[in-house]
Amino acid sequence: MAISPDSAIEVSALRWVPEGPRGLVKDLRVRWALEEAGLDYRVRLIGAERPQGYEIDQPFNQVPCFCDGSVRIFETGAILQYLGEKSEALLPRQQEAKYRAIQWTYAAVNSVEPFVQFRALLNSFWADRDWAEGAKPTFDELAQLRLSQLANWLGEKQWLEDRFTIGDIMMVTVLRLAARSGQLDAFDNLISYVKRGQERPAFQRALADQLAAYDQNQPQPQGEAA
Amino acid sequence: MAISPDSAIEVSALRWVPEGPRGLVKDLRVRWALEEAGLDYRVRLIGAERPQGYEIDQPFNQVPCFCDGSVRIFETGAILQYLGEKSEALLPRQQEAKYRAIQWTYAAVNSVEPFVQFRALLNSFWADRDWAEGAKPTFDELAQLRLSQLANWLGEKQWLEDRFTIGDIMMVTVLRLAARSGQLDAFDNLISYVKRGQERPAFQRALADQLAAYDQNQPQPQGEAA
């Protein structure tokens, strides 16, 4: 069990979310990295209404934010790099390989995620907007282009570079969103890559711990059913 | 003059772009960081048709990519971090401050840029799509929320943290795109922040060198005008 209330490392997470975003909230990335590194952590559960002053830790009011003693970081890419400096299981020590891994964390959140995310929103939060249907071909084209470029890069490799790194943690979690909204259907190797990531014991522990919090914090019913 | 054909550091850039994207192409970030650090570099100019094999250096077919001897990196955030390890002018050495700076490079490209960029596209490349007008309120709301959260964080500070870092290079270049499409009009402190960044001599040298390449490589006219 990697969750320990006495750990110096703290990660913020949501107390409860509905079915849709389950398994996609971004504290999963940090939990996964901590599990890969074998580091204990404690969780600060917060609600949709953020605690007063939360924007000092996370100016965009999101989860997760992270602290380890006096180190205070938001943005999952930066948190994973910090953990990578603690554990070679996450980030190679050799300079060339280290920056290859780091570049993939940026590629995941800048060159892939926005396209996948906006396309997914057209089927979910934005599905009822009158412009959504018309926008789909444009966003499909953008997302499919980036995914095909990524699939070409990956080819038959197991991971983005010659070993598993924080770059894969970031990319697999981005692609899980794409998979859920059907965007990976044309890319068998990306589907296998996501599966490979999800099969890692560290991923499974991280996901189970994230979901367990939601189960333990079901919202109270608003009154007796009629 | 920081451009030197004998430098070990190479940055790819576009030979020529039309008026619209001038000053926004992302090699500017890397040139700026190199100028702040006082490092020489050579430029590899490429055209809209990429050289054969370019996707090995840049799987998403964009500029810039970067090499320094055997270190080969794409993604500007990763390149700026690599340069930050070479120069304290870019990245503090103290652990807490270092990761604060790094987190802002991710915030720029993940928490701000996508929202600003998609909103800007509705006025440019996407202006003639029949869904574009209808989508503007949704994208306005998203971009303005992120920008207001950033403005709240910045307040009266000069930089995002207590000194200039690679986080500011990334954020200022993202906000320049926002400024050009009128998205900063409600945020005086963000306008001043961009101005502060642009007034730095290193920024001005970087921009001049980027633009000079376009001037020197005007496309040949396709024949005599009628």
Is B20 among the domain residues? yes
Q: Are residues A196 and A207 in the same domain?
A: no
- Strand blocks (E) in chain B: 9-14, 42-46, 65-68, 71-74
Alpha-carbon distances, residue B100 vs A65, A77, A141 (angstroms) = 12, 12, 35
**Which residue segment(s) compose the domain that A76 sits in?**
9-89+203-211
With a threshold of 0.90, tell me whether the complex ipTM lies above it.
yes
Predicted confidence at residue A95, as pLDDT, reads 96
Is B226 among the domain residues? no
Q: Are residues A58 and A144 in the same domain?
A: no
DSSP string, B147-168: HHHHHHHHTT-SSSSSS--HHH
Is B224 among the domain residues? no
Among A146, A143, A151, which Cα is nearest to A193's?
A151
CATH number at residue A118: 1.20.1050.10
Rounded CA-CA distance A30/A105 in Å is: 13
Q: Are residues B78 and B120 in the same domain?
A: no
Q: Are residues B58 and B85 in the same domain?
A: yes
- CA B93 to chain centroid: 24
Is B150's CB within 8 Å of A59's CB?
A: yes
CATH number at residue A55: 3.40.30.10
**Structure tokens belonging to residue A207:** 């996901």
Q: Are residues A63 and A121 in the same domain?
A: no
Q: What's the whole-model pTM score?
A: 0.96
Q: Are residues B75 and B146 in the same domain?
A: no
Is B78's CB within 8 Å of A106's CB?
A: yes
Number of residues in chain B: 226
- CA A202 to chain centroid: 14
Task: Say whether pLDDT at B13 is over 80.
Answer: yes
Q: Where are the alpha helices (DSSP H) in A40-154?
A: 54-57, 76-86, 95-106, 113-123, 132-154
Provide the pLDDT confidence category of residue B226 given band limits of 50, 70 and 90. very low
Q: Are residues B191 and B100 in the same domain?
A: yes
Per-residue pLDDT of chain A (226 residues; tens, 9 = 90+): 589 999 999 999 999 999 889 999 999 999 999 999 999 999 999 998 999 999 999 999 999 999 999 999 999 999 999 999 999 999 999 999 999 999 999 999 999 999 999 999 999 999 999 999 999 999 999 999 999 999 999 999 999 999 999 999 999 999 999 999 999 999 999 999 999 999 999 999 999 999 999 999 988 776 544 4
User: HSE on the CB side for A49, CA within 13 Å?
Assistant: 1
* A63 chain-B contacts, CB cut-off 8 A: none
Q: Are residues B168 and B210 in the same domain?
A: no
Predicted confidence at residue A226, as pLDDT, reads 43
DSSP string, A185-222: TT-HHHHHHHHHHHTSHHHHHHHHHHHHHHHHTPPPPS
Is B74's CB within 8 Å of A103's CB?
A: yes
Q: For an interface test with B, which of A57, A63, A93, A109 has the most B Cβ atoms less than 10 Å from its Cβ?
A: A109
Is B223 among the domain residues? no
Q: Are residues B107 and B192 in the same domain?
A: yes
Predicted confidence at residue B195, as pLDDT, reads 98
Q: Are residues A51 and A104 in the same domain?
A: no
Q: Are residues B34 and B106 in the same domain?
A: no
Is A220 among the domain residues? no
Mean of pLDDT values over B87-110: 98
Residue B183 in 3-state DSSP?
coil
Q: Are residues A165 and A178 in the same domain?
A: yes
Predicted confidence at residue B1, as pLDDT, reads 52
**Span B52-64, pLDDT tens digits:** 999 999 999 999 9
Overall number of domains in chain A: 2
Residue B222, number of CB atoms within 10 A of its CB:
6
* B38 or B226, higher pLDDT: B38
